[in-house]
Chain A
Amino acid sequence: MKPSEDFILSQLQRGFVADSPEQQKRFIQQTVLRMQRKSRQRMWVLGICSVVAILSLLLFFPLEPLVQVLSSQTLVAGISRSTLLLATLPVVVVGYVMILIENTR
């Protein structure tokens, strides 16, 4: 077939040709299965990364200020700003790491 200029342009303006119903059904099934597999992988990776992040923070972060603040029964107003900052830092960093992991996936 030797298509003319008009033919080509009219074909470009025509909508796409749909696959047969069986092919469409197969495509949907494959996509849903692939999505479910990806979600499971994602959950595993996120879970493992979170555990590693939390464990490393627990091991390497100075948690004593947090424990002291929680156990001292002092009002928040009575605690210095730097102590509060140090105490909340692990929580902030854990949150940040979780967001980073989630966004980079």
Chain B
Amino acid sequence: MSILKDWLNRFQQQRDSQSFAQVVAQCQTPLQGYCRRLTAGDMAMADDIAQETLISVYQQVGQLQNLDAFKSWLYRIAYRHFLHIQAKQNRWKSMTEQELEFALQQETGCGSEQQACEDERLVLQYMALLTHEERAVITLNHTLEYSHQQIASLLDMPLGTVKSHAKRGKDKLIAFSHRQQRGAA
């Protein structure tokens, strides 16, 4: 975080392309990962949302007082961009278990890709089972290690709603893995 903070400081002062590129480099993996989870693996659109988010960062970075809150601010902007595109294009609706099962059967696998990449792809496919709120809450909570309280403020949701999205999302994933296991047995 300290390297990111140094570059953010420099970027806030100079607003130059080089420091912006360094800020992008420092936060691109978690931001892309988060957007990919939100879109349930729509890589092109996820990268588009990530880029739009970073452009908003470029335009509004002067308003950010607390640099320690940068990443939360980044994920908040990304979620808003995602909601905006979703409302406009009516995409990334959640699938039923049967639809996902069918989609997984059509899947041919990564071939020569690494195991971590295969696993991430599987997680992205599983995200399709969840609503967009559940995807955001589950990813922020489990992968990015935000508390429910922090997520509530980040996504502008009541704490109770965050907790119920987290529980419902997790239950859906567990239920589907049980169904898959039963199918395999």
Contacts and interface: CB of A to CB of B under 8 A. Distances in A.
Q: Do A and B come from one complex?
A: yes
Interface of A: 1-5, 7-9, 11-19, 24, 27-28, 30-32, 34-36, 38-39, 42
Interface of B: 17, 20-21, 24-25, 28-30, 32-34, 36, 47, 50-51, 54-55, 58-59, 116-117, 119-120, 122-123, 126, 138-139, 142-143, 170, 173-174, 177-178, 180-181, 183-184
Given A12-B138, A28-B24, A35-B58, A1 B122 contact: yes
A18 B117 CA distance: 9
A35 B21 CA distance: 10
A36 B17 contact: yes
B116 A17 contact: yes
A19 B177 contact: no
A1 B33 CA distance: 22
Contacts of A31: 21, 24, 50-51, 54-55
Contact of A16 (B25, B32, B54, B55): B32
B contacts with A: majority SS: helix
Given A7-B177, A12-B142, A13-B142, A34 B55 contact: yes
A30 B51 contact: yes
Given A27-B47, A28-B28, A35-B20, A12 B123 contact: yes
B47 A11 contact: no
A8 B123 contact: yes
Given A1-B122, A4-B181, A16-B30, 11 more contacts: A5-B173, A9-B173, A12-B142, A12-B143, A14-B116, A15-B33, A16-B33, A17-B117, A27-B24, A27-B28, A35-B55
B28 A32 contact: no
Contacts of A1: 122
B34 to A, nearest CB: 8
A5 B143 contact: no
Nearest to B107: A1
Contacts of B117: 17
Nearest to B18: A32
A2 B20 CA distance: 42
Contacts of B47: 27
Contacts of B178: 5
A13 B54 contact: no
8 contacts: A2-B183, A4-B181, A5-B174, A12-B142, A15-B33, A17-B33, A28-B25, A31-B21
Contacts of B184: 2
A32 B17 CA distance: 7
